[in-house]
Chains A and B, each alone.
Chain A
């Protein structure tokens, strides 16, 4: 008899084979992280079923099985390897295996060079991810599968990791997108993630086999894979058990089953996980803590007996919807706190209907809405005001602590915190997409372990050894938790550890504080997550200061909105909010269309209400709403695009040369275009980036954590090949031009050497000429000779004289281009000043001009009425200055110089765009922040990735405008 156990991250799979390798038993069950118990029970079951078998060939496989196998001295087989052994035996003609598990994704290439790939630590879970997304849609995974079959269209959802996708999905739901479409989009994201993360430059073709839970259970997912790979894969019988079967096949030691059972049962974990001081040493300490916090209460009143004006505040958050009714003395009369299962509209409708029923004579003076769903709710129910979340929270916090210095709000999936300086919001920290999901992470974890979130967090209060889980993104934490469990941490220790982790994430990843003094002494904490005493305690412990937690910690957004409505309301104002009569007739219809007014091709959700009013969501600029002409005349990014794309191909005797339009080419196109045109080449640049262009080159990307601008290059080169271009010029450049702003003038390693990656990973370049030699445009004198040598390798008839002339023209054109941009920038500044407009210096790299990279943030800013210019317009005004960092990259030196200049201009603010995964920006962002804050300016950073939703960006920008009083 042979037994194979596959202990995965969420399930245990087991097969028993007889001596002829026939299946005689199989089981598949979730283990809810109770691995030892489940495993022991399973072996007991097998023993009682086959009592005559004292011994069997037994092997364990699976990511969660290593510890048990080692401790119980049972052979361990790595799971991908086991799957391969099984496929080789059962389906010998297979070329590629795609296996998705609870948290792993794997691709096995079996023919033409064996390779096995597993998802990197960043890619996050897949099965767990689908479960998480299903619960976000409030359906079971099975229902998700059924839903996806009714799709009409799909949305682009970021595929790098679950947290990103969530940030994309939530606003889609909030804006009223159809569930079937979202469901199908989720599967597409999984597919895209698997292909991008794992294929790593290798094409997936031939006979494809699908294995593992998600692919077995969801035919929609299989179909998504089929569509993406242009093939039809097979999901074989027993597709859940391949790893277990492989383990059984690999088992080469006969093991006494009783002994093995005993060994597993006695597997006492080592208990050497690192841990922190307990949250509370005893109940008494906890009681004191509770008494202190219970003192902080909002005034209350009784709705039914209340007479007078009322104010309504609604916070349509990402995972919950909160609404309050407030009286004239700021007393809370009524409150609701509802989980948002996707569409907040019906929830608010019910809230208002019930309110009118309870108190038909209610006098509503004003209503304000805040949160993710602000615009939708405001227009659906005709609320008087909409305010940005940060302002709402600040307003509420002030009512509890008038001289509050710092507000931190940890909600369902975001952390918002800000400093208050001179009575205004001064410095906003929002969690970047990477570390978000804090509150909901606790919840997901509680659910996974079969606890309610409240029960789960209570467990940790008196834990003796809270696990130290560090301060990292939730996906990492997930595996840390598993590790700790394996090392014997109790559920109590883990609960406390997770609370600590949430706090540390907020402090060290979002705020990046190093001492409590940085936050000030007057701190208000709020958001649903702080209702959790364990989190609150962990926070106080970590910063060493007692903080204020209002009893309405979870309602602060809504309460703040109500307070705001009261402040704004005129003396005899009557709210414009929908009346009881209208509410009865209220209907809400959603339609999805693609906007064709510009290259962004936003997917718009058009919400139509009973009286014909419309609300359009998903737009990045005002054009689809107002139908107004574009505001490009105050957008230097738009000007740059127009200018760059005006370099048109000119017929030449030497044929066509292709240039991929990405990364540094966004600035060097004028140089190279002129250079090669002069040399009688027809210069053909690749098209403007788009999602489709990206997808087209996606499977040749070898490193899934490189920045999005670099990943796009694969698409650009592929586009050139698809257009029939045989010669592509994309040089390596360690150095950029020396603009005398820094200590050196490097390109970042990715910009400098990405051509190497293109050359080594794009099989479609075979038979084409990729010129990726190292060139030094920074040495103007040496360049012609060196470049001539480079070109002579490819073209025999180019003379040095020709190269010299071409170089002269190229340098001149480059200078003229920069000058023109600066001139235009200066004009825009002057224009803005004459119109009294805010000037936003949208800073980043030249390639952040690409609309697929910046996702239309430039247009979003102009839609607020501001003028957008770029950092290179200003950097010429600054002198080389000593920095606190090694100032050695040309593009980055401009950032510092621009920050210096902005600091001297009262009508300019700097917003820095940072591509996710940009290691260099870990350094530049700190320095730019430093420069600005030293000069009393607000620093705003926007992290961008494949994510195309601008919800969080809008909050940041609106908060910025609110803080500077515009």
Chain B
């Protein structure tokens, strides 16, 4: 075990020694993205390990160690980490945990504290926890988000978004079962290797690699019979994590739908943009504005590479540019609504409707505070703007049953199928 060093507030630090020796466990969210992301850190000398565990024990563990009224993602994320520590699979003297912290006004910023409380309850206080954030909270001598890392993280997100999008738009129509998944695996492996070597994240490399990826997916033989198109938005964890949303994507696939999950890059852009909006709304440092704006421009440049690459193959619907998505909520909800997914969630619903994914599942943990506003609170307004919007809001929770959730989604799908039939009928005439 490495020497345990605490800062002056009593927080256990992640030291340089730990960086060399310790395995850094981190919880699952979006599988494609996170598989790639972990390897960014590997190249910089960390030993990350993504937890891919599933099953009811994870929620049970979470419920045991976290306040039960806390949001469901906290219960699952902490449950998954503690469950892993208690599994016997890891040397508890050589393991640390890593989670993200946004620093926003939502209680999600408190996950790391809840995790520490949980570790204490479980008698695992000697396990260091690393906060991954851009706000300068909780510094550690052995962990630093350097510019090269940030650049690669953004690159990994771009790759993840591309693969997720291509997979979602290809798999429902593929003629040879399993071909799309195999392709996703192939490219994930490729990217993992590249990133391990520290390669693949320059703009040029991204552009070239994406080109090949898109070409590969475009070559998958498909039969594009019209399917119900469903967009999924919501609180970021339950939106992406199958553990959090009872395998929502699989369920929708089983109901013969094409799914669209707006990517993580736009969320990253949103979080960066918030810092600019704050200054615009309330005033603030010009220098900070300048620096943040630079990061914003960098991410947007990558976004256009992503969009351009996907446009290469006309059968795919690319994501809308962030600025366009943002323009959709003008007059609907203010740009100051930044906690949780904030106005972006509303914007994504409008974007999806615009792109033809007018059937939407809006996911949130039971009692999610920001979603009272930007999710459920905006559905009426969205329908006012575009009547085609067919939205169902689903709450996820350790106690909510899958059958209830699926029944509600089925209701949304029944209306969607009717609309689809009407559309076909109109085409027929």
Which residues in A have some Cβ–Cβ distance to B below 8 Å?
A: 63, 66-67, 76-81, 113-116, 118, 120-122, 200-202, 274, 468, 470-473, 476-477, 479-480, 482-483, 486, 508-509, 512, 514-515, 702-703, 705-706, 710, 732, 734-735, 744, 746-750, 752-754, 756-757, 760-761, 772-776, 778-779, 781-782, 785-786, 882, 884-886, 888-889, 917, 919-923, 925-926
Contacts and interface: CB of A to CB of B under 8 A. Distances in A.
Contacts of A120: 393, 395
28 contacts: A66-B406, A79-B407, A80-B411, A121-B397, A121-B401, A202-B380, A468-B60, A486-B403, A512-B67, A514-B65, A702-B380, A705-B366, A710-B372, A732-B334, A732-B336, A734-B338, A746-B105, A749-B105, A752-B337, A753-B373, A774-B335, A778-B282, A786-B282, A884-B113, A885-B114, A886-B113, A919-B368, A923-B113
A347 B397 CA distance: 43
Contact of A472 (B284, B398, B418): B398
Contacts of B145: none
B219 interface: no
Contact of B373 (A78, A477, A756, A785): A756
Interface in B372-404: 372-374, 376-381, 383, 387, 393, 395, 397-404
Contacts of A922: 67, 69-71, 107
Contact of A923 (B65, B114, B376, B400): B114
Nearest to A202: B380
Contact of B410 (A78, A750, A917): A78
B377 A757 contact: yes
Given A776-B283, A922-B70, A732 B63 contact: no
A114 B113 contact: no
Contact of A113 (B332, B334, B340, B383): B383
A121 B59 CA distance: 18
B415 interface: yes
A756 B334 contact: yes
A624 B65 CA distance: 47
B207 interface: no
Contact of A78 (B367, B383, B405, B411): B411
A748 B108 CA distance: 12
Contacts of A470: 59-60, 63, 398-399
Nearest to B342: A753
B270 to A, nearest CB: 14
A750 B366 contact: no
A482 B377 contact: no
Contacts of A888: 105, 109
Residue of A79, A703, A749 most packed against chain B (CB within 10 A): A749
Contact of A479 (B401, B413, B414, B415): B401
A62 B373 CA distance: 31
Given A480-B401, A748-B105, A926-B117, A754 B373 contact: yes
B81 to A, nearest CB: 15
Contacts of B278: 734
Contacts of B227: none
Interface in B208-248: none
Contact of B377 (A515, A702, A752, A917): A702
B403 A118 contact: no
A468 B59 CA distance: 12
B297 interface: no
Contact of A760 (B56, B332, B401): B332
Contact of A473 (B10, B399, B405): B399
Contact of A480 (B68, B103, B367, B399): B399
Interface in B57-92: 59-60, 63-65, 67-71
Residue of A514, A753, A889, A920 most packed against chain B (CB within 10 A): A753
A735 B281 CA distance: 11
Which 8 pairs show the lowest CB-CB distances between chains A and B? A472-B399, A782-B283, A776-B282, A774-B336, A746-B105, A476-B399, A81-B414, A922-B69
Contacts of B378: 756, 760
B255 to A, nearest CB: 11
Nearest to B343: A756
Contacts of B327: none
A274 B283 CA distance: 54
B65 A118 contact: no
A923 B68 CA distance: 10
Interface string B289-333: 000000000000000000000000000000000000000000011
Interface in B101-119: 103, 105-107, 109-110, 112-114, 116-117
Nearest to B403: A483
B105 A476 contact: no
Nearest to B336: A774
A748 B373 contact: no
B105 A752 contact: yes
B400 A476 contact: yes
B369 interface: yes
Given A121-B395, A470-B398, A926-B67, A749 B370 contact: yes
Given A66-B403, A115-B383, A476-B400, A923 B282 contact: no
Nearest to A201: B380
Contacts of A118: 407-408, 411
Contact of A703 (B333, B376, B404, B407): B376
Contact of A756 (B377, B402, B407, B408): B377
Contacts of B334: 732, 756, 772-774
Given A81-B415, A882-B10, A923-B114, A750 B383 contact: no
Contact of B116 (A746, A752, A884, A926): A884
Nearest to B283: A782
B377 to A, nearest CB: 4
B136 to A, nearest CB: 12
A386 to B, nearest CB: 33
Nearest to B116: A884
A915 to B, nearest CB: 11
B372 A705 contact: yes
Given A703-B377, A885-B110, A734 B68 contact: no
A483 B367 CA distance: 23
